[in-house]
Amino acid sequence: MTANFEKQSTNEGILTFEVPVEEVKKALDKAFKKVQKNLSVPGFRKGKVPRQIFNNVYGEEALYDDALNMVLPDAYTKAIEETGLDVVTQPQFDVESVERNKPWVLTAKVTLKPEVKLGEYKGLQVEKQDREVTDEDVQNEIESKRQRLAELVVKEEAAELGDTVVIDYKGFKGEEQFEGGTADNHSLELGSNSFIPGFEEQLVGASAGDEVDVNVTFPEDYHAEDLKGEAVVFRVTVHEVKAKEVPELDDEFAKDADDEVETLAELENKIRVQLQDQKDKAAKEIIDDLALRQAVENAEIVDLPYEMVHEEIHRQMDHFLNNLRRQGIDENMYYQITGTTEADLHDQFGEEADLRTKTNLVLEAIVKAEDIQVDEHEIENEVKELSEQYGMDIEQVRNVVSNDMLTSDIKMKKAMSLIIDSVEEI
């Protein structure tokens, strides 16, 4: 096969390649057999029309499209191998010439992986991260657990911020009751900001049995069009006022909060260890991210093709939406719930797609520069980890993930380790 690449810009060009005459003839024969069984020509039984008769009636050119689809994938793959091009996106194909008894000449407009010139990526320095767990941190977590174990107790006194009121309410715009503005026996914590701004504050001071008119104005960005910016009144009946009663800070509370401890001191120690672990993990994530970003900033990537970023955006979108589908939420339902569109999701993932694409390119360049290799033992370990992570049999993992994919992933992880394992905090 003859293949030739003509560069048009830094990372784009036209690949011209041929399909040999013998390959064309084989493809035309297959294309004819595909249509022959459905052919009806006067004087011949259905499916028995000779090739020459077909050529005379329809012309051999009628087989070209099918034949072209048959030869194109293999011919393109061989052309890529012959030229050694590193193509990153789906090409745009065109036909240069399809003459009888001559090689077919095809072209593909291709986008190439950009050149990466590595900068410093080992021994990088990043800002030191705070890992200290203070007594205040521990006490805040203790208090949070106390609040979660708090009980609501009916009180006779008037409602205060922090109390919960059990209410009926009906909403009116003018003299008309509006849809969605009615509820019975609704529990509302005053100060939770779960209702329209101004609603909860007007119930402070109310007692059980009171009837209160609550006057509020809906925000301009409210989801219901007919209520945006509208002044309304809610006629509220207060049934009960409940105060939050938190447990005493003692050993009994500690046992209620965590059945693995016996005393308050043990609970505090356990919380301190947990918070320390969380802070250490959070600090490592930040350090890893800073180091990777710095390695990317130190590298020079020549004209990153937009097509690569675009593919990365859609790869992340597909991954996100597939996870939602596994939870029983399709994309239309997600857009309706969140009030967003596909374009919004595209923009959301677009914010990090450029950096993610550059990071992958830098890691690939490190793999090449360091001549990183992977042995069979490492592949087996990766298969076991995936099996445990996704609850699949090892054979199932083997069926969905090829050795090439596993090898590539492990190499990228090793390249990343070269960056993050050598980083220094200053």
- Distance CA(245)–CA(9), nearest Å, equals 72
Same domain, 420 and 278: yes
Within a domain: residue 106? yes
With cut-offs at 50, 70 and 90, classify the pLDDT of residue 390: confident
Same domain, 155 and 83: no
CB 251 within 8 A of CB 263: yes
pLDDT band at 2, cuts 50/70/90? confident
Residue 75 lies in a domain: yes
Assigned token pair, 33? 């057999």
- Mean pLDDT rounded to a whole number for the chain: 94
Residues 383, 272: one domain? yes
Q: Are residues 393 and 305 part of one domain? A: yes
Instruction: Determine whether 81 is exposed, middle or buried from the number of CB atoms within 10 Å of its CB (0-12, 13-18, 19+).
Output: exposed
Are 313 and 205 part of one and the same domain?
A: no
- pLDDT (tens digit per residue) in 147-187: 999 999 999 999 999 999 999 999 999 999 999 899 999 99
Same domain? For 327 and 414 the reply is yes
pLDDT of residue 305 exceeding 70: yes
Whether 289 and 390 map to the same domain: the answer is: yes
Q: Is the residue at 194 inside a domain?
A: yes
Show which of 55, 84, 112 is a domain's final residue: 112
Q: What CATH number did the domain enclosing 11 receive? A: 3.30.70.1050
Q: What is the CATH number of the domain that holds 175?
A: 3.10.50.40
Q: Is the pLDDT of residue 111 over 70?
A: yes
Among candidate residues 85, 112, 139, the one where a domain is terminated: 112
What percent of the chain has a predicted confidence (pLDDT) above 90? 89
Tally the domains of the chain. Answer: 3
Examine residue 190 and state whether it is found in any structural domain, yes or no: yes
pTM of the shown model: 0.76
Give me the mean pLDDT over the 271-281 stretch.
98
Same domain membership, residue 274 and residue 240: no
CA distance 180 to 225: 13
pLDDT at residue 1 in the model: 58
User: In a 3-state reduction of DSSP, which class is residue 197?
Assistant: coil
**185 class by beta-carbon count within 10 Å (0-12 exposed, 13-18 middle, 19+ buried):** exposed
**In-domain check, residue 118:** no
Instruction: Tell me the mean pLDDT in the region 274-282.
Output: 98
Tell me the residue range of the domain where 194 lies: 151-245
* Stated length of the chain: 426
The reply to whether 346 and 415 lie within a common domain is yes
pLDDT of amino acid 89: 86
Say whether pLDDT at 233 is over 80.
yes
Indicate whether 205 and 324 sit together in one domain: no
Tokens 């910016």 correspond to what residue?
229
Asked if residue 323 and residue 231 are part of one domain, the reply reads no
Residue 250 lies in a domain: no
Q: Give first-to-last CA distance, the chain, whole Å.
A: 58
Q: Write the single-letter amino acid at 110.
A: V
Asked whether residue 139 is domain-assigned, the answer is no
Are residues 277 and 415 located together in one domain of the fold? yes
**58-65 long-range contacts, Cβ below 8 Å, gap at least 24?**
60/28, 60/100, 63/28, 63/31, 63/32, 63/35, 64/28, 64/98
